[in-house]
Amino acid sequence: APLIKECYANLECKLVDSKLVASYNFFIFEVVKARAATAPKVPRTMHYRGGGAFMVSGREVSLRSMFRPENL
Mean pLDDT confidence for 18-22: 93
Task: Give the CATH architecture of domain 9-71.
Answer: Roll (2.30)
For residues 67 and 60, give the distance between their C-alpha atoms in angstroms, rounded to a whole number: 15
Residue 42, helix vs strand vs coil: coil
> What does the pLDDT look like over 36-59, one tens digit per residue?
988 888 888 888 888 888 888 877
Examine residue 40 and say whether the peptide bond preceding it is cis (omega within 30 degrees of 0).
Answer: yes
In Å, what is the CA distance from 12 to each residue of 9, 16, 49, 55, 65? 10, 13, 24, 25, 34
In the chain, where are the structural domains located?
Answer: 9-71
Query: Model-level pTM?
Result: 0.53
